[in-house]
Amino acid sequence: MNKALSPLHKSWITVCLFNFFIAALMGTILRYGFVSNIPFNFKHLTHGHSHIAMLGWVYLMLYTFIVHQFIPQKKQIFTYLFWATQLAVVGMMISFPLQGYAAISISFSTLHIFCSYYFALLVWKNQENNTLPEKLLLKSALVFMLLSTVGIWCLGPAVALAGKHSVFYHLAIQFFLHFQFNGWFLLAVFALFFKYLNNLKAVINLKLFNKFYSSLIFATLFTYALPVSWYVSHPALFWINVIGIVLQLVSFWFLIKFILPNFGLIWKNVTTTIIKKIMLFTCASIGLKILLQTTSLFPEIASISFQIKHLVIGFIHLTMLGVVSGFLLLFLLQSKWFPENKLIPWGINICFIGFLGTEFLLFIQGGMFYFQFHQIPYYHLLLLLFSCFLLLGITLLFIGFLSNLIKNIPIERPTN
């Protein structure tokens, strides 16, 4: 993560952070919708928020990191493809809040999918000079990205054959989300992490890595049985998910054993207090994610948890903001791509407050509904308040990065 960043990639990061800001703004407006009326269709805005967060922020940030770290011969086609993908993101940013799923938004979503296919092909052909761990993780991440889109292509036939409320339709959505979050996003993050270890000249125990990798891949496949069990009743699905959860625990045990001998080297290269905070925060988020998934070993929790929207939203935000975005911000700061100014620590700390506040409220309220207690007093107002903290923190990160770019633009002075 310590390679010098080109001006081109700085512009890409600026775009990614702008998308992150827009996603946070949409999320805050959605929270405001529970306090007062908003001039948007709530469901349409929700679609816009989720698409920009996943495809505008996470996808394009991973795109930037992968091109920068894994493609030694930078080709112009990656630049053209980045801006074509961002065009699709802007199209979704405008069309989803206005019309939801309709001709224009579906067209831009389809453009994004075809751009992702071409990106996977280009990376597969052009990545080189990488050791086995990061190469294997990167290729697997790309395969899961392609696999996840099968769910999207099934949506049309699902609606035509059975309707939007059918089991087929819901399974297609869960297929896409599961293999995006737990396949493409998570494996891409791990690929970048192992690339970072390789750059540090860390000790690579291939035997441990192979155990970690194999168990993680099978865990990702088998745990899809849980969302399937929400819509299809069959005892085998519960046991398939149990195997997946056990394999996930095993995979992270091997990961810990892999990291421990290199922890001193990793910690020594963490240069600032704020980076240490993000590292601990991200590790805690991963631990909490695994713990929450492990609770699905209890049949009653596995069958009812998805019915409580507070728990579902809390888990999605834990994965997207705590784990994936936590890693992305960690990579950004550790690579010194962010400026050394006061806005960045302020932005990160305010994001922490917003994230922890919203997660606490969502999970506590979800737990109270599970045990049939009443709603927390001023629940929606408090959620809005902490969402504003998140928005403010992300805004400071964006302004901080942008101000550094402006400062470093060379100015041609007239000569006498």
Instruction: Walk along the chain (416 residues) and give the pLDDT tens digit of each residue.
Output: 555 555 557 889 999 999 999 999 999 999 999 998 888 889 999 999 999 999 999 999 999 999 988 988 778 899 999 999 999 999 999 999 998 888 899 999 999 999 999 999 999 998 876 678 899 999 999 999 999 999 999 988 888 888 888 899 999 999 999 999 999 999 999 999 999 888 888 888 889 999 999 999 999 999 999 999 989 888 899 999 999 999 999 999 999 998 888 888 888 888 788 888 999 999 999 999 999 999 888 887 777 777 888 888 999 999 999 999 999 999 888 876 666 678 888 999 999 999 999 999 999 998 888 787 888 889 999 999 999 999 999 999 999 888 766 665 543 333 43
Q: Using alpha carbons only, how large is the chain's radius of gyration in Å?
A: 21
CA 238 to chain centre: 26
- Which residues contact residue 342 at a Cβ distance below 8 angstroms, ignoring those fewer than 6 apart? none
Q: Count CB atoms within 10 A of the CB of residue 416.
A: 2
Q: Are 339 and 348 in contact (CB under 8 A)?
A: no
Q: How far apart are CA 209 and CA 74, in angstroms?
A: 29
Q: Are 255 and 219 in contact (CB under 8 A)?
A: no
Q: Are 344 and 333 in contact (CB under 8 A)?
A: yes
- Which residues contact residue 24 at a Cβ distance below 8 angstroms, ignoring those fewer than 6 apart? 387, 390, 391, 394, 395
* DSSP SS3 for 303: helix
**Which tokens hold the place of 354?**
């917003």
Residue-range domains of the chain with CATH = 6-129 (1.20.120)
- Which residues contact residue 338 at a Cβ distance below 8 angstroms, ignoring those fewer than 6 apart? 332, 344, 397, 400, 401, 404
- Model pTM score: 0.92
Q: Is 400 exposed, middle or buried (0-12, 13-18, 19+ CB in 10 A)?
A: buried
